[in-house]
């Protein structure tokens, strides 16, 4: 029996570059990649001190594919300061999270729980403005998400269903409220749909998720990767639950995230305020905060539409 032959070790050309003896392919060690990134951090830090701008890193992503534009963000790097984030339009996606009847419409899930729909429906007008701007002659991608469960609730955790039934006084996930449109938070029901004012148009993406987040509960990561997205502009509801969860997930994946604060809402105004402040901590601990007017103005300027 012949002993198993071990593959030949890579041949070093220098301290950092090697040749794979099987394929004659030259590759660079991870140490070089790491050092390059750290060197870029130092250089870009010095640049930020001069410009207060998080410039689009062409060294990381390559030359722009669309139009560059800058959006002002607030309380960065410290409260009372302002800074700018630079976007490549072709690598930017607007993410509208869970603008469904269940969360901002009558007889939906939030309504049944007894919360003020005025708080969760407040961002509709601002999101409409953003969508109108993007849809008219830009290459910015639009992605909508919907939270909901399979009709047999096989993807709904027991504790989530139980909690919803308790807070809804016997009417929870999977139930039809009195005079309701359908079963709450169930895919395919009328109340599960995105509201008419913000309904997706052809060419936009719709992501269905079973939980608060989207990176572990849907195909959003694959879509973002395939579209070549690097920067996310985020709106939707509710800020302190699904929006925060998705934004935190995206930040951990390395996406540059900017929240439009007037394009979001929560079932409690104090929670809304606290959620915005949390984002701003540490100079933007998992993203930055701006508003729809600043974003729309920047996009219109970039695409020569004053």
Q: Is residue 212 among the annotated active site residues?
A: no
> Is 85 within 8 Å of 233 (Cβ atoms)?
no
Q: Is residue 257 among the annotated active site residues?
A: no
Q: Which residue out of 75, 98, 208, 262 is catalytically annotated?
A: 98
Q: Are strands 25-28 and 17-20 parallel, antiparallel or unpaired?
A: antiparallel
Q: Which residue out of 209, 212, 261, 280 is catalytically annotated?
A: 209
Task: Tell which residue, 247, 257, 239, 260, has the closest CA to residue 103.
Answer: 239
The CA radius of gyration of the chain, in Å to the nearest whole number, is: 23
How far CA 171 is from CA of 10, 116, 158, 162, 166, in Å, comes to 64, 18, 15, 10, 8
Q: Token pair of 102, please?
A: 């269940």
Q: Which residue out of 102, 107, 141, 242 is catalytically annotated?
A: 242
Phi-psi region of 159 (alpha: psi -120 to 50; beta: other; left: phi over 0): alpha
Catalytic positions:
98, 209, 242
């Amino acid at each position: 029996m012949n002993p198993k032959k071990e593959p030949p070790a890579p041949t070093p050309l220098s301290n950092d570059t090697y040749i794979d003896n099987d394929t004659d392919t030259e590759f660079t060690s991870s140490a070089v990649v790491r050092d390059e990134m750290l060197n870029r951090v130092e250089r870009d830090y010095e640049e930020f001190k001069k410009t207060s701008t998080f410039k689009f890193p062409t060294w990381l992503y390559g030359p722009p594919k669309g139009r560059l534009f800058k959006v002002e963000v607030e309380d960065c790097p410290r409260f009372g300061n302002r800074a700018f984030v630079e976007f490549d339009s072709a690598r930017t996606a607007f993410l509208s999270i869970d603008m469904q009847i269940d969360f901002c419409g009558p007889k939906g899930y939030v309504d049944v729980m007894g919360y003020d729909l005025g708080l969760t429906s407040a961002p509709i007008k601002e999101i409409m403005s953003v969508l109108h701007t993007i849809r008219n002659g830009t290459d910015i991608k639009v992605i909508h998400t919907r939270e909901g469960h399979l009709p047999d609730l096989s993807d709904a955790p027991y504790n989530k269903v139980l909690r919803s039934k308790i807070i809804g006084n016997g009417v929870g996930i999977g139930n039809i409220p009195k005079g309701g449109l359908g079963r709450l938070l169930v895919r395919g029901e009328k109340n599960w749909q995105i509201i008419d004012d913000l309904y997706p148009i052809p060419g936009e993406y719709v992501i269905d998720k079973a939980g608060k987040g989207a990176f572990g509960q849907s195909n959003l990561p694959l879509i973002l990767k395939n579209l070549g997205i690097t920067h996310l502009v985020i709106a939707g509801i509710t800020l302190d639950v699904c929006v925060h969860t998705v934004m935190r997930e995206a930040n951990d994946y390395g996406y540059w995230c900017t929240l439009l604060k007037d394009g979001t809402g929560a079932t409690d105004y104090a929670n809304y305020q606290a959620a915005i402040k949390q984002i701003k901590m540490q100079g933007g601990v998992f993203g930055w905060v701006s508003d729809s007017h600043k974003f729309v103005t920047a996009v219109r300027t970039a695409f020569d539409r004053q």
